[in-house]
Amino acid sequence: MQVLRNANISMARMVMVNYTDEVNADIVLTIREISGVEIIVMVEDLRHSRFLSYAGASRVLSPKTMLGTFVAQISTPSCGECVFPGAVQLFGTLSLAEVPVFPGSPLAGRAISDPLLVQTGASVVGIWKRGEFTPRPSWDDILSSGTVILAVGDSEQLMRLRLLGAGDDKSRRFLVIGYGDVGQRLVRVLCEHGIIPVVVDRRDLTTDRFEHVMGDGYSEDVLIRAGIKDASCIMIMLNNDHDAIYATLVARNLNPDAFIIARANHLLSTEKLYRAGANYVASVPLVASKMLFTMVIPASEDLTILYEGLELRRYEVRRRSAMAHRTLKDLALIERFGCTAVAIDRTGDAILALSGETEILPGDVLALLGPPGSMDRFSRVFGDGG
């Protein structure tokens, strides 16, 4: 208790608690003895939520539940029309969102300059391929199945692009490996939107809501019985990262063409999952950090954490800024700093069609995307825009 007093808890606007559920309960009870401050608790096991509320938590959040919903929404537009999981608002109606290219998508095999993609109105600002990010890809770059597009647009533009990326999602076969907290939420959301997956879990699940194959999610025989070779989307939601990595290796070997989404409990596992064959890794710690970040940092702040090692920052160009009246080519963002411009807000009008000849004017708000180090280098040269 003295530690909390030494930390000036009486001056705190909010306290976030994120240990094991048992330790969290102890901490919350201790805080409530000396303060009425808002307490946000991250819960590991959903069954413990009510006990943490009884202890005095103001809000109990479950990153695992959020992750299950996130994976369902990103895997198919049917699970939330005009809902873009993980999207970040830029300015006005514009957002930055991820759009996966699934097997059977009409976008696969087409260049970024293809009219089918251009006519959506969304602007491609980057692409992910097995965890490797390419900012501002060339117009000649070819999209392939398994690519994840990072695009900017309003909800209608992004939805048109998302529908193309998904193809006919109702005809796709979904396989969910693991039925813990994350898997249960994922399956529930899919079923609610008319998508009935096959679920692999070592427990004997008594249900008629979906097809269940009992066994280990990393067993070749079990996965073959579950129809993995015909699956177009494989979601590996195992609770142990070692099991998830091995299951990803097995799944990719059995089905080279499927879109594989894997869950990571630890950020250090993310790269291994990509190397094992995942097209998209959904990280529990990253979901938790985003949830907390949005609570602590007001929406008006200029910094947004997108992913591990990737940030979005907004810079207001003041009259005497060294950026003013220079083109993007002059700034050489990628060459000098390793970041890229994704959009410009000019007196309320959003500019998406950026090129090397785009001139930066006083009053513009420039949205930049890149690793934290790149952003820091840019800030050292151009300050805060002023």
Per-residue pLDDT of 310-328, as tens digits, reads: 788 888 898 888 888 999 9
Question: Quick one: pLDDT band at residue 274, thresholds 50, 70, 90?
Answer: very high
pLDDT at residue 334 is higher than 60: yes
Q: Side-chain half-sphere of 79: how many Cα atoms within 13 Å?
A: 23
pTM for this model (two decimals): 0.83
Question: Is pLDDT larger for residue 122 or for residue 286?
Answer: 122
Rounded-to-integer distance, Cα 60 and Cα 152, Å: 32
Per-residue pLDDT of 160-213, as tens digits, reads: 999 999 887 667 899 999 999 899 999 999 998 888 999 999 998 888 788 899
- Choice among 32-36, 205-209, 265-269 with the minimum mean pLDDT: 205-209
pLDDT at residue 7 is higher than 70: yes
pLDDT at residue 339 is higher than 90: no
pLDDT at residue 304 is higher than 60: no
Question: Quick one: pLDDT band at residue 44, thresholds 50, 70, 90?
Answer: confident
Amino acid identity of residue 381, one-letter, is V
Q: By C-alpha distance, which of 278, 256, 271, 270 is closest to 103?
A: 256
> What's the mean pLDDT in 21-38?
91
Reduced to 3 states (helix: H, G, I; strand: E, B; else coil), residue 150 is strand
Rounded-to-integer distance, Cα 254 and Cα 143, Å: 23
CB-count burial class (<10 Å; 0-12, 13-18, 19+) for 154: middle
Residue 142's alpha-carbon distances to 93, 112, 294, in angstroms, are: 28, 6, 35
Kindly report the average pLDDT of the chain as a whole number. Answer: 86
